[in-house]
Copies of this chain bind each other. A is one copy, B any other.
Amino acid sequence: MKLKVGVIGTGNWGTTLGLLVANNVKRPNVSKYFEEKVTLWGIEEYHSNELLSTIINLEHVNKKYLSGIRLPENLFCTSEISICADLDIIIVAMPHQFIKKIEDFKGIIKRNCILISVVKGFIDNPDKSITLISTYLKNTFKCKVCVLMGANIATEVAKGSVCEGTLGYEDEESKELSYLLLNSYNYRVTCVKDIPGVELVGSLKNIVALGCGLVEGLGYTGNTKVAIMRNGLMEIRKFLKYFYAESKDETIFQSCGIADLVVSCLEGRNYKYGIMKGKEDTSLEDFEKSMGGQKIQGTGTAEDIFNFLEYKNRTKDFPLFRTIYSIFIENSDPSEILRCISTDSLSDMYK
Interface residue SS majority, chain A: helix
- Which residues does chain B contribute within 8 Å of A78, judged by CB atoms? none
How many residues on chain A are close to B (CB under 8 Å)? 48
In the assembly, what is the distance between CA of A141 and CA of B52, in Å?
A: 73
Is the beta-carbon distance between B346 and A250 smaller than 8 angstroms?
A: yes
The residues in A between 29 and 74 inclusive whose CB is less than 8 angstroms from any CB of B are: none
Closest to A343 in B: B188
CB–CB A153/B221 < 8 A:
yes
Task: Give A164 to B151 CA distance when docked, in angstroms.
Answer: 25
Residue of B nearest to A194 (CB): B346
Contacts known (A162-B341, A224-B162, A343-B188); A258 close to B255, Cβ less than 8 A: no
Q: Which residues 304-351 of A sit at the B interface, judged by CB distance below 8 A?
A: 338, 341-347, 350
Q: Which of A1-9, A88-96, A259-267 participates in binding chain B?
A: A259-267
Given that A229-B262, A255-B230, A342-B188 are contacting pairs, would A350 and B250 also be in contact in the complex, using a CB cutoff of 8 Å? yes
Q: In the assembly, how many copies of this chain are there?
A: 2
CB distance from A14 to the nearest CB of B (A): 17
Greatest chain B CB density within 10 A among A220, A237, A258 is at A258
Cβ of A201 to closest chain B Cβ, rounded Å: 13
A192 contacts B by Cβ under 8 Å = yes
* A227 proximity list for chain B (CB < 8 A): 151, 162-164, 188, 255, 259
A188-B342, A189-B343, A190-B343 given; A230·B250 CB < 8 A: no
- Contact bitstring A128-140, B, C-beta under 8 A = 1, else 0: 0000000000000
Chain B residues with CB under 8 Å of A250's CB are: 346, 350
Whether A230 contacts B164 in the complex (CB less than 8 A), given A190-B343, A223-B157, A250-B346, comes out as yes
Q: Are A156 and B223 in contact (CB under 8 A)?
A: yes
**Chain B residues near A220 (CB-CB < 8 A):** 161-162
Inter-chain contacts of A229 with B (CB < 8 A)? 258-259, 262
Contacts of A143 in B (CB 8 A): none
Contacts of A262 in B (CB 8 A): 226, 229, 262
A254 contacts partner chain B, Cβ-Cβ < 8 Å: yes
Q: Known: A222-B153, A224-B162, A266-B222. Contact between A233 and B255, CB under 8 A?
A: no
Residues of B within 8 A of A188 (CB): 227, 341-343
Closest 8 pairs (CB-CB, A-B): A163-B223, A230-B259, A226-B259, A188-B343, A151-B226, A226-B263, A156-B223, A164-B227
Given contacts A151-B230, A163-B224, 19 further A-B contacts (CB under 8 A): A151-B226, A152-B223, A153-B221, A156-B222, A161-B221, A188-B341, A188-B343, A190-B346, A222-B266, A223-B263, A229-B262, A230-B254, A230-B255, A230-B258, A230-B259, A233-B253, A250-B350, A253-B346, A262-B262
Q: Which residues of A contact B (CB under 8 A)?
A: 151-153, 156-157, 161-164, 183, 188-192, 220-227, 229-230, 233-234, 237, 250, 253-255, 258-260, 262-263, 266-267, 338, 341-347, 350
Q: Name 21 interchain pairs, CB-CB below 8 A, sorted by A.
A: A151-B226, A153-B222, A161-B220, A161-B221, A161-B223, A162-B227, A163-B227, A164-B227, A222-B263, A222-B267, A225-B263, A226-B260, A226-B262, A227-B255, A229-B259, A230-B255, A230-B259, A233-B258, A234-B253, A237-B253, A250-B350
